[in-house]
Amino acid sequence: MGPFQIVLLVLGIILASGLVFSVGFTFYVAWRVYSATLFRPEKEKRERKCSFPSDPEQLLMFNRGLEWAEKYASAKKDVSVENDGLHLVGEYYDFGADRAVIIIPGRTESLAYSYYFAEPYRANGFNVLVFDSRATGFSDGKYYALGGREYADVLKWGALLHDTLGNSKIFLHGICIGSATAIYTLTSENCPDYFVAMCADGMYKNFFETFKNHMIERNKPVFPVCYQVMLLLYMNTGTRAISYGPYKAVKKLDRPILFIYTDKDIYSLPEESKKLYESCVSPKKKIVWFHKGGHSHIRINDEEGYDREIGVFVNELGEDGIW
């Protein structure tokens, strides 16, 4: 081997070593990101607390939710279901109605977060079910599947509401990932007719897009880390966060839906949200825009307006003969 070939070999070894190190390092970063956002270690203490107490609006929402739960504590019943070998827990607030809403929170949020969104439904004649999603709060589980598995949990909750607790119709209210879970529920092949409609607060096109926007907003590397996180998500849960999402589910939705957005959302971008609405084939769809508040923080910036829009929509369903 001549000097030139030796130089090429050494350069090749250096480049290959650098590539291996680079890929290994970015996968390490991706695993750290994945572990912090989409995975709950078994050793982690199970509790229900505010996910972002340093955010004044998030903390205010959480505390107002706790006040709501305390006010209506006499209506509460602890409930649970089993699915995928997991014990899932929730709370049912019986207000004497014959219909119920299931409130589905966003990522890492326990049922205590959902309290805050319950009042417009109680005020409009609904019983209320809130629950700890798998891998959240007091429910079992290690992995978040972004609705890809959780929708089956919602079907179980619906069966409990309908078959055991006497609710003839069920409405779904989802926040962020919760809205994706809701639409996967309504478009699943085995979704019963008693699931009648939903409200989507800040529903994204697909999780990859909103996750990428989170990374950009926090000045974190998008490539290749975002893609590696999606790979880890698929390996652990089978969730295809790039090739599937609400942008496909809306094309087969046959039940009414209310979209609620803020034009200040930097995660579920307004231009993509408009496309999502336009792609929706539901025979009854409505989109409402608010001009204050960020992602998932719409109601805290206009409780009266938010609650009014929900009241208008569910009463229109009554006029349409849904109830």
Domain harbouring 298, CATH code: 3.40.50.1820
Choose between 2 and 106: higher pLDDT: 106
Q: Is residue 122 part of a domain?
A: yes
Dihedral angle of Cα 133, 266, 36, 81, to the nearest 10 degrees? 0
Q: Which 3 state secondary structure label does DSSP give 90? A: strand
Q: Is residue 18 part of a domain?
A: no
Least confident of 28-32, 41-45, 92-96, 109-113: 41-45
pTM of the predicted model as reported, rounded to 2 decimal places: 0.92
Q: Which two tokens stand for residue 79?
A: 């409930």
Q: Is residue 26 part of a domain?
A: no
Contacts of 128 (CB under 8 A, 6+ apart): 92, 93, 95, 100, 101, 103, 118, 121, 122
Q: Is residue 47 part of a domain?
A: no
- The per-residue pLDDT for 125 is 98
Q: Is residue 121 part of a domain?
A: yes
The tens digit of pLDDT for each residue in 271-307 reads 999 999 999 999 999 999 999 999 999 999 999 999 9
- The per-residue pLDDT for 301 is 98
Helix axes 3-37, 225-237, angle to 10 degrees: 60
Which domain range does residue 197 map to? 53-206+244-319
- The torsion angles phi and psi of 111, rounded to 5 degrees, stand at -65, -25
Find the length of the chain: 323
Q: Amino acid identity of 108? A: T
The tens digit of pLDDT for each residue in 79-138 reads 999 999 999 999 999 999 999 999 999 988 999 999 999 999 999 999 999 999 999 999
The tens digit of pLDDT for each residue in 200-216 reads 999 999 999 999 998 89
**Mean pLDDT for all residues in the chain:** 92
- The per-residue pLDDT for 20 is 40
The CB density around residue 205, as the number of other CB atoms within 10 Å, is 21
- The per-residue pLDDT for 2 is 60
Say whether pLDDT at 10 is over 50.
Answer: no
Say whether pLDDT at 17 is over 50.
Answer: no
* Number of separate domains in the chain: 1
Q: Is residue 4 part of a domain?
A: no
Q: Is residue 221 part of a domain?
A: no
- b/e sequence 265-281, b meaning 16+ C-beta within 10 Å: bebbbeebbeebbeebe
Q: Which two tokens stand for residue 30?
A: 């991706």
Q: Under a CB-based contact definition with an 8 Å cutoff, are residues 93 and 146 in contact?
A: no
Least confident of 38-52, 151-165, 191-205, 234-248: 38-52
Q: Which two tokens stand for residue 319?
A: 């006029």
Q: Which two tokens stand for residue 311?
A: 């009241």
The fraction of the chain above a pLDDT of 90, given in percent, is 82
Q: Is residue 238 part of a domain?
A: no
- The torsion angles phi and psi of 131, rounded to 5 degrees, stand at -150, 155
Choose between 26 and 111: higher pLDDT: 111
